[in-house]
Chains A and B, each alone.
Chain A
Amino acid sequence: MYIGMIAALTAHASTGGEASPEERGLAIAKEADRLSNGYGDSTANLRMVLRNRQGLTSEREIRIRTLEVEAEGTRSLCIFDTPPDVKGTILLTHTHKQADDDQWLFLPALRRIRRIAAQNKSGSFMGSEFSYEDIAVQELEKYTYRWLRDEPYDGNDCYVIERVPVDRANSGYCRQVAWLDKEHYRTWKVDYYDRKDELLKTLTFKGYEKHLDRFWRARQMEMVNHQTGKSTILTWSDLSFRTGLKEIDFDRHSLTLLR
């Protein structure tokens, strides 16, 4: 029923009839959200390569576990493996569709769990060009949407939509512009505009692969900061879905048991 409704909405949107750009944008975002959700849980290895303006690189390796929680949001764990001085550090995030996210950092040397009180998500994630809001699971409800135009990108017919963060005070951006292909609603490119509405960063996606015969995931994501000349490449590997993770695995107390 719900799926049918969305499909109807999308079909309506693509005809370009009476729907306003806002309605079309929301319909596209909803369909993309619907298609990417329902995986249950996932585990993956993430390799980050940070490159500065001089071309010097440094690397981080992170294991990521995520769990969808019906109606509430997403739970995620980032377990740092390298560099070795941060090995064992864990970031736990409970994203909520309607409320502020909860976030904790586990510091292994002291066996200490510290709450992160930064509702402001514009800070850099691990010194990379990705901020916490870029890396976080994109809950549909955290943006408002607007369809801008249709145009081809890299051989795919794409919708170009604009997303504006709902909590503007705590975002590093005034808006984002995303290119999603019409066939599978996969994101290929995102332009991030800073608070002064100047182009700050561009994220591009490469190597989409289909998992569980349904979920498209990019193997590589590159974020380029136009203002600093720095960039970060994320490469995903060993992606698994429906591994049997439970809510208890994402409990604050479990942080002291993970490696």
Chain B
Amino acid sequence: MAALVIGMSAWTAGGAGELSGWIAVEGRGFLNDPLYRGQDRDNASIAAQPEYYHAWENGSSFTFVPFGRADTADSRRTHADIRELNYLYRQDNWFVRMGVGKVFWGATEFVHLVDIINQTDLIEHIDGEDKLGQPMLEFSISPSWGTLDFFLMPYFRERTFPGRGGRLRTSRVVDLDDTIYESSSEERNIDVAARYSRTVGGLDFGVYVFRGTSRDPLLATPDLVPPELIDPEDVNDYKLIPFYEQINQFGADMQYASGNWLWKLEAYFRNGYFQDYFAATGGFEYTFVGVGGSNTDMGLLCEYAYNDRDDGGQTIFQNDLFVGMRMTPNDAASTHLLMGFAQDTEESENALSIEASRRFGANWRLILEAWLFLDSADDSVIHELRDDDFARLELAYYF
């Protein structure tokens, strides 16, 4: 409370805020015609994410990051969100953050298992790295023996899913009007989390406990769908109903650097409505600096993801091996290239992704990306995306 009062008085004292952000146009072209009724073949969209930041002399600051996108194909992808809207009060070794925030936990490149504070804005990108703003109260303290973070999250955000007109979706559209929660408070369930993290030499590690609404919905099968929701015209147009269970999750993540090696590990144990299960992902990245006497750095990545949940194939990465390559020419245009290949170790299922980007002038950045779903096993999520191979071109203006 004292912090708030001090912050407010500082506010009136004034000072200059700063505005930055980006606006981008995007086109996605798909190799094949859509598999499901109602889908447009390709799409174009425009998105913007301005950011306003104001800091005061006393160490406190205010951040506001709205986001919005308009899309030609998918009415759900035309959406807006408040990524951040928070006030931070900071003293020497502790801080309090109030409002809508964004927090990332994790170490690995391909699967982000332990990251749990923010919900995934899946409709933005299939890689799951875009996140919705999470209302929270965060308290963090860093004594000499590490950092302790405490989170109180009073409101739950539902995961976004493509609508009927969008590509990269399951055959059945996920119905967002009949979401089922285990908690009787539904999205007003109060979630809590505590995390301890520390750096010791070349090792960074964190352990946490989360109690509350799972960010990963279980998508209920058509049998559970009330008949009135089924479009009689199309038996393929059954809806999927998201079910959000209450969970206790114990997670850990670490990065260890030694020479040109970077070792990464993420794992959690989850106790939920149906079953308890364990998931882990880990691997390494080796960096070759100055390949062949050039300025180019090349990183080789190898990771494995394991998940022992029995969920009828809803988990995309159940037992998968990932290999990747990162190329950084260290040029003036900050060119970047990342290639990844995922192979299921139990089924003949695999996918390939390539992302390249570079700057033009001082303010423009061009991103070219392609995803190919090469082979898939029946009844898996990837199988439903089998004809959704696509290339994406984005031109962004940063200010």
Residues of A within 8 A of B (CB): 50, 52, 58-59, 82-88, 99-100, 102, 104, 110-120, 122-124, 126-127, 172, 246, 248, 251-253, 256-257, 259
Contacts and interface: CB of A to CB of B under 8 A. Distances in A.
Q: How many B residues are at the interface, by size bracket?
A: 35 or more
B104 A83 contact: no
A75 to B, nearest CB: 12
Contacts of B260: 117-120
Contacts of A88: 20
Contacts of A58: 332, 362
A257 B142 contact: no
What 3 A-B pairs are tightest by C-beta distance, nearest first? A117-B262, A84-B398, A124-B330
Interface string B65-109: 000000000000000000000001010110100000011101000
Nearest to B101: A111
B373 to A, nearest CB: 24
B331 A122 contact: no
A86 B61 contact: no
B213 to A, nearest CB: 21
B349 interface: no
13 contacts: A50-B332, A83-B363, A84-B399, A85-B396, A87-B398, A102-B201, A112-B106, A115-B262, A117-B259, A117-B261, A123-B295, A126-B334, A248-B92
Interface stretch (B215-223, B267-275, B285-293): B285-293
Contacts of A119: 259-260
A124 to B, nearest CB: 4
B399 A120 contact: no
Contacts of B381: none
Interface in B343-399: 359, 362-363, 365, 396, 398-399
Nearest to B290: A122
A253 B142 contact: yes
Contacts of B330: 123-124, 127
Nearest to B129: A110
A95 B126 CA distance: 39
B258 A252 contact: no
B58 interface: no
A167 to B, nearest CB: 10
A84 B261 CA distance: 30
Contact of A127 (B92, B197, B204, B333): B333
A126 to B, nearest CB: 8
B259 A248 contact: no
B55 interface: yes
A117 B258 contact: yes
Interface string B224-261: 00000000000000000000000000000001011111
A242 B126 CA distance: 48
Contact of B95 (A82, A87, A257): A257
B53 interface: yes
